[in-house]
Amino acid sequence: MGKPMKEHLPFAMAWWHNLCAAGTDMFGRETADKSFGTVKGTMEHARAKVDAGFEFMKKLGIRYFCFHDVDLVPEMDNIKETNRCLDVISDYILEKMQQTGIRCLWGTANLFSNPCFMNGAGSSNSADVFCFAAAQIKKALDITVKLGGKGYVFWGGREGYETLLNTDVKFELENIARLMHLAVAYGRSIGFTGDFYIEPKPKEPMKHQYDFDAATAIGFLRQYGLDKDFKLNIEANHATLAGHTFQHELRIAAINGMLGSIDANQGDYLLGWDTDEFPFNVYETTMCMYEVLKNGGLTGGFNFDAKNRRPSYTAEDMFHAYILGMDSFALGLLKAAKLIEDGRIDAFIEERYQSYRSGIGARIRSGDVTLEELADYAEMLGAPELPGSGSQEYLEGIINTLIFG
């Protein structure tokens, strides 16, 4: 469809899952060795992760990476010290980027792991914690700009609540918006021209997350005047946690001009949490790529916010996982292009709204009609005809034929 596959699919490696996460879960400790021959929690380890990450991306032809501040360096007792470490490691990353041509897709600040963020960051009841969040965002923006990142992400983290018995929702939402406005002002002042993104998620870690889904996040951005600087980063697993399909979330973002980037993973319909699996469901990657193609692409890319299953603990498993994810999206792209070129789905939808193209329908669309006139028209008809078959099974058959045929 006019450009090479690699331009349709700017894939990114997620620093946290690939280089940091080692299989710890609520019931057990690490299964994978991600020390890369060093002692964890040291700057030597931070450097070894850079080496491993760039070797990994080079071998697989992955052109971008995404990071949280604390994925890059161990968090020190004092924020000044952590920031100094970030300066050192980002110099090293920059060198590797220049050697390889690999680029930064987006950066973000981890405002949820440190215990001080137990009640959220922008939404915290503590003004001091709000300031620490601001300090981390400032530094993460500095590093993102230094590394030429295309975007900057706000995933809600703990911006939400457990009970209304101790929570002032309006106050918290205003504060989150304030923090975002401050981030935009600072980012623009240091030359960040990319997009800010909200990454919606309905729950986990909080029971209620404020950025529940795309529609909620878009409403928030508009209400607080942030919609010119922000787009959305849609994650597949977050969509399904919200009770939506991945495609639904992409479509809602797209029709609002806010489909910016994608966290490419897959959830498990039997489990109610963010399993962050590598995507293998070609049906879903096809419908995702259908939305992306219709959107004219992304300003961001496809970040594999996904982790190996705990028993897949070898270095080879890391490669298999990314190969699976990239191949699933590549196949999805081919199938989505076929769907669009086939034209039957588009033609069906076009035809379905035919009644708005002339007569009373055209007048409704142009806004040139009153409620009374519509009522008179209905009375004249007496009773409406049925609106035409939705033909869902016919359309689902087309999809199957194009994917498997």
User: How far is Cα 53 from Cα 57, in angstroms, rounded to an integer?
Assistant: 6
Q: Based on CB atoms, which residue is closest to Ni ion, 235 or 249?
A: 235
| 139 binding partner (options ligand XLS, Ni ion, none; Cβ < 5 to 8 Å by kind) | none
User: How far is Cα 283 from Cα 335, in angstroms, rounded to an integer?
Assistant: 9
Please, what is the minimum distance in Å from the beta carbon of residue 248 to ligand XLS?
18
The token pair at 243 is 């009770």
Q: Based on CB atoms, which residue is closest to ligand XLS, 199 or 277?
A: 199
The token pair at 185 is 């002002």
CA dihedral 285→289→292→293, nearest 10 degrees, is 180
User: How far is Cα 117 from Cα 132, in angstroms, rounded to an integer?
Assistant: 9
| 195 binding partner (options ligand XLS, Ni ion, none; Cβ < 5 to 8 Å by kind) | none
Q: Based on CB atoms, which residue is closest to ligand XLS, 105 or 252?
A: 105
| 108 binding partner (options ligand XLS, Ni ion, none; Cβ < 5 to 8 Å by kind) | ligand XLS
CA distances from 266 to 201, 306, 308, 314 (A): 14, 8, 12, 21
248 labelled catalytic: no
User: What is the enclosing helix (H) or strand (E) of 23?
Assistant: none
The token pair at 152 is 């900057």
Please, what is the minimum distance in Å from the beta carbon of residue 364 to ligand XLS?
41
| 175 binding partner (options ligand XLS, Ni ion, none; Cβ < 5 to 8 Å by kind) | none
Q: Based on CB atoms, which residue is closest to ligand XLS, 243 or 388?
A: 243
Q: Based on CB atoms, which residue is closest to ligand XLS, 38 or 245?
A: 245
Restricted to residues 237-296, the positions that interact with Ni ion (CB under 5 A) are 263, 274
Minimal CB distance to ligand XLS: which residue? Answer: 155
User: How does 182-209 read in b/e, with b if 16+ C-beta sit within 10 Å?
Assistant: bbbeebeeeebebbbbbbbbbbebbeeb
Q: Based on CB atoms, which residue is closest to ligand XLS, 108 or 286?
A: 108
Please, what is the minimum distance in Å from the beta carbon of residue 380 to ligand XLS?
55
Closest CA to 268 of 326, 319, 234, 309: 309
| 69 binding partner (options Ni ion, ligand XLS, none; Cβ < 5 to 8 Å by kind) | none
User: How far is Cα 323 from Cα 321, in angstroms, rounded to an integer?
Assistant: 5
Full DSSP string of 295-325: TT--SS-EEE-----TT--SHHHHHHHHHHH
| 158 binding partner (options Ni ion, ligand XLS, none; Cβ < 5 to 8 Å by kind) | none
Q: How far is CA 151 from the centre of its chain?
A: 11
Residues in the chain: 405
DSSP-assigned beta bridge partners for residue 106:
66, 151
User: How far is Cα 161 from Cα 296, in angstroms, rounded to an integer?
Assistant: 37
What is the contact surface with ligand XLS in residues (CB under 6 A)? 68, 108, 153, 155, 199, 201, 235, 263, 274, 305
Question: Which one of 305, 306, 322, 402 is in contact with Ni ion (CB under 5 A)?
Answer: 305
Cβ-based neighbour number of residue 20 at 10 Å? 18
The token pair at 340 is 């669009």
User: Which is catalytic among the residues 17, 45, 68, 244?
Assistant: 68
Please, what is the minimum distance in Å from the beta carbon of residue 3 to ligand XLS?
27
User: Which is catalytic among the residues 8, 69, 71, 263?
Assistant: 71
Give the binding range for Ni ion (CB under 5 A) out of 49-57, 99-107, 230-238, 338-346: 230-238
| 306 binding partner (options Ni ion, ligand XLS, none; Cβ < 5 to 8 Å by kind) | none
Q: With CB under 5 A, what is the number of residues at the site for Ni ion?
A: 4
Check binding of 235 to Ni ion (CB under 5 A): yes
Give the binding range for Ni ion (CB under 5 A) out of 52-60, 211-219, 298-306, 358-366: 298-306
71 labelled catalytic: yes
Q: Based on CB atoms, which residue is closest to ligand XLS, 262 or 337?
A: 262
Question: Which residues form the catalytic set?
Answer: 68, 71
Binding site for Ni ion (CB under 5 A): 235, 263, 274, 305
